[in-house]
Structure formats: structure tokens, C-alpha cells
Chains A and B, each alone.
Chain A
């Protein structure tokens, strides 16, 4: 293709990175936020204050299910971890009963009452957007995200080959020197957490591996279902006897499970045939307590409460996959490691963003007519503004909408999400309408303003503003507001940097060089 290996890899790196850069940026930003999805959800439901004890909450959830779905063949309880304030339950409708999806699930508080909180999808939306995007069928979105992840993997490999002096380059950060600084910034953000990006990209592909590369299964199994049944022998199927027997208490089962798992907690409870003599309780180990993501399960007899099986015979490949996904999702991470995930993720966003900007900086001075750049250049320039300032502006608006939208608005949760995309779209329109340099400054400043508004609006509309939260030692709320302030400062700084920089001189490179030499 090109003359040498490094040249061809440089070409591949540039173009593989550019075409998917904007989507990758969105994936990095929302993925980083998703590490704090539980905390974001808590901030977005200011009505719910207390974090319940997991076992009490589970017992209360069970009582709720017994009341609303006594004839259901299956109850599922997602046990609140240390970071969430609510219990999620859902159930299968009784045979012959027709129910919509929303009618067989509930979000409960610690007392087992439907949580009296505003309608929001909270941090969960940012988590799902990370791989499902929005306003498009989930399957297509996942293929699109997969293509982007694959391009990212190729960009990482070709990027490393391109920069054979990558580690030397790392120690030569030349700040505020135009193009050279953008290249250095790109190198620093890339090298600093390179193993992290490589791990995240690969494990991200693995989370949806059988969708992206289904041919391993289809070469061996005539029916995909056979593979999944063999791989994940879950769901105990027991025939309902029709003899009503009350369910054994869950606490001893939790205790037995904890003992079996060396102290690790329960993350998920599935109850088959509740209230019947054939009841089975399946407890799944909490993913907060181990790196592997496919939780081990223990099955208990729902009447006697005795453990009936403890099979865990996963093979090496299955365990590897489980740990790879666990590494990606980071559910096992405690506070310090969680912050490291978050910061590294934002470092990835910075790497993509500096790479995108570098593409335009490199080409601007070589344009045939810098006053009137060609269409491709303008497209990249404008999309860069829309992506780098627009999505963060959208996320800030999402948080503001959570505080400002009327609590009785129909389809309120959806409107919070729509607000995000309206703000993002507005920045795109702005970026197209204004001269590029002005658009950068204005969009970055507006984003800074939006982030600065979040703690202010939250303080005015709830009783859980920054000062009361700090005084009460509520670090979820205080931390959230402080992150907003840091984001506001970061975007204000960027806007200030762009505003201070002299406008690029629209002259060919040679003339500038000659001038400098004279």
C-alpha cells in the first residue's frame, strides 16, 4: 500500500481512527460515566435517601412479590449492592395471564414499597447508551458499536507500530506548541493507559463476542440454543405440584451461600414456583465480590431451605470469558479502583479527542486555500466540535432536565433522554452555523456553563445540594456535585485556551518558515 510498514500503519491508524472517532468518543464518555451508574441513579432520585441493608431489602421484596404475583412461576430479585438504594424485582406472569413488560417489574425501596421517586432512567441510561446507543434498534446499534470497537483495536495496533519510539515520545511533552503539542498530547494520553485501552477494547468485543463472531458456535452446533444451554446451565425447571407450601426463609440460605463463597454476598435471587411444594431458590454470587462476571450459582430447595446442588464446573475458556467481561464492567472495583477506571476512561476520551483534533491541525496549514477548506475538512472540523463539546453538553443537560422537568410530565424519563439529544443537536447546529473557531469557544463555554449550573439547580430544587450534602457527609451527592464543578472548570479552561490562542494565519507553510528564518 504505502512504501513501508510504518507508513502503511500510519495511514491505517489515521483513517481507522477518524471514521469511528466520534462514535468512539461517545462510547468512552458514556462508558466512563457508567462506572458510577449506581451513584448517578441515586443522585437522579433525590427522593430516596436511605441505603437499605441487602438482606432486609430482599426479604421485603419477597413479601412484595408474594402480594402482587402469588401465582407467578418465577420471581427475580436483584439484590441492592452497597452502592444502590433500590431493589429491582420482576416476575413471569402466571400461565394464561397477559401482561405488558412494564407491568411485571418494579423498583422497590428498602421497605419493599414501590420506590416513590421521579421517573428517570438514571445512570442506567448512560450505561446502555455505551453499547445500545439510542433511537435505533438495539441489534444494529450493537453491530455499529462492534465495528467501532474493532476499528479501535486496529487503530491501537497500528498506532503502536507507527510510534516505534512511543515510550521515548512519552517523555517529550511539548506544551502549547501547536501541532507538536497536539501530537504529544495524543501520545501521552494514549501511552499512559495503553494497556487499559487495549484491555477495554478487547474485552468490550468479548462482551458481545457470540453476536460479532457467531461462526464458532454454528460450526459446532446445529442450534445455537444447544450451545447456550450447555454453556450456562441455569434455570432449574421443576414441575409445579399444585400443593401450596410456604417458602422457606431466605436469610439462612444467604448465610449458607456466604459461607460457601468465603464471605461474598448474593447479587441475584431467582425463585421458581414460589409458594409451591416444588419451589427452588437459586442464589447468584454478587459480581461486586469477584472479578468474574458470570456469577456462580447455588440452588436451594425452597421448602426445606437445604442446598441441593453446588455445581461449578466451568472450563478454562468459560472462566476466561467471564473474567474478561468482569474486567470490562469493573463491577468488582472498590472506590479507589473505580475512580481509576473512570479517569482512565476519560483519558481514552481525551486520546480520541486529541487524535481527532490532530487530524484537522495537521491538515489546516496544508490546505490549498485555508480560507475555504474543502468539504471533508469542514465536515471533520464541525463534527469534532459537535462530538467533543456536544455530548458533554448533552449529558449536563440530562442532569439538569432531571431536576427541572415537571414531576408529573408524561413519559418523563424519555424526555430527560430527549433533552440530552436536543442539547447535543443544538451544539451540532451551532457548530455548522458559526465560524469554526468561534464555534469551539462558544460551545466549550456553553458546556462549562451547563456543568456549573447542575449543582446550583440541584441545590435550588432539592434539599440535597452541595453544602447540605458536605455537612451530612453524603459523599455520593457531594461527589457528584464536585465532579460537575471539575467538569465545568475543565471546559472553561479549554474555552479560554482556544480563545487566547492567536487565530491561525492563513498563509502557506513556506512563507511562514521564511519569515521565521528572517
Chain B
């Protein structure tokens, strides 16, 4: 298993910190936006849509975290997470703007 041999280099440390930031916080933001979108778009009654999306969210978040830590390089990962979250977020806010909330 991964053991830091003799003190990781500064670059490695920064990479781990960046990875944790993207993997934990970035994945949470992406999960949050996806959950919001699912809660609006699922073809169910409102309370059911919300509950279904909320119940699924933890599986989604766990999957995203594992994916984030399995990708080779951090920068493309960060760009990918940010772009996906931004795209879904745009759809979500457009949907709220257009149709409003209950």
C-alpha cells in the first residue's frame, strides 16, 4: 500500500491537498447540483422526486470521490468536475428561473 517513502516532496504534498479539495469538496458540489436537478426532473410527485434524489445522492457522492482519487492527474480532474458542475448548475438554475419552485 502507499507509504510515503522518506517524506513526500512539496509537489506531491500539494498534489494530495489539491486532490483532496477536488475529490471531497468538488465532488460534493457536483453531487449537490446533480441531486437538485434530479429532484426537479424525475417523473414523480414532488416529495417523491426530492426523496429519491436525496436517497441516491450518497451513492453518487461516494462514487465520485472514488473516481476522483483513481484518475491519474489532478488538473484535468479539476477541470472536468468544475465543467460538469457548471453545466448541470446552469440547467438547474434555468429550470428554477423558468418554472419556479413550490
Does B associate with A? yes
A-side contacts of B92, CB under 8 Å: 219
Number of A-B pairs whose CB atoms are under 8 Å?
A: 133
Q: How far is the CA of A158 from the CA of B2 in the complex (A)?
A: 14
Determine if B58 and A153 form an interchain contact, defined as CB atoms under 8 angstroms apart: yes
Cβ-defined partner of B37 (8 Å) among A161, A219, A227: A219
Determine if B39 and A1 form an interchain contact, defined as CB atoms under 8 angstroms apart: no
Size range of the interface on A? 35 or more
Which listed segment binds B: A64-72, A123-131, A262-270, A360-368?
A360-368
B-side contacts of A315, CB under 8 Å: 44-45, 47-48, 51
CB closest residue in chain A, given B60: A213
Q: A11-B2, A153-B62 given as contacts; is B52 within 8 A of A317 (CB)? A: yes
Q: A10-B2, A315-B45 given as contacts; is B54 within 8 A of A213 (CB)? A: yes
Cβ-defined partner of A321 (8 Å) among B37, B40, B55: B55
B-facing residues in A1-41 (Cβ within 8 Å): 1-2, 5, 7-12, 14
Q: A210-B54, A363-B3 given as contacts; is B39 within 8 A of A219 (CB)? A: yes
CB closest residue in chain A, given B1: A10
Q: Measured between C-beta atoms, what is the minimum distance from A25 to chain B in Å?
A: 21
Determine if B102 and A158 form an interchain contact, defined as CB atoms under 8 angstroms apart: no
Determine if A1 and B70 form an interchain contact, defined as CB atoms under 8 angstroms apart: yes
A-facing residues in B45-78 (Cβ within 8 Å): 45-55, 57-59, 61-63, 65-66, 69-72, 74
- Judge if B82 is at the interface, Cβ distance under 8 Å: no
Which listed segment binds B: A201-209, A402-410, A457-465?
A201-209
Q: Is the interface of B mostly helix, strand, loop or mixed?
A: helix
- Judge if B81 is at the interface, Cβ distance under 8 Å: no
- Judge if A150 is at the interface, Cβ distance under 8 Å: yes
Name, among A216, A227, A231, A368, the residue most crowded by chain B CB atoms within 10 Å (CB to CB). A216
Q: How far is the CA of A219 from the CA of B100 in the complex (A)?
A: 9
Question: B interface vs A, CB < 8 Å?
Answer: 1-3, 6, 19, 31-33, 35-40, 44-55, 57-59, 61-63, 65-66, 69-72, 74, 92, 96, 100-102
Mind listing 17 A-B residue pairs with CB under 8 Å?
A2-B2, A10-B2, A12-B65, A150-B62, A210-B54, A212-B58, A219-B35, A219-B50, A220-B46, A220-B50, A221-B46, A221-B101, A226-B102, A227-B50, A318-B47, A320-B55, A324-B55
Beyond the given pairs A209-B58, A231-B51, 19 more chain A to chain B contacts, judged by CB atoms under 8 angstroms and listed by A's residue number, are A1-B69, A1-B72, A9-B69, A14-B2, A157-B63, A202-B58, A205-B58, A209-B57, A215-B32, A215-B33, A216-B35, A216-B38, A216-B51, A216-B53, A216-B54, A217-B54, A219-B35, A317-B52, A368-B6
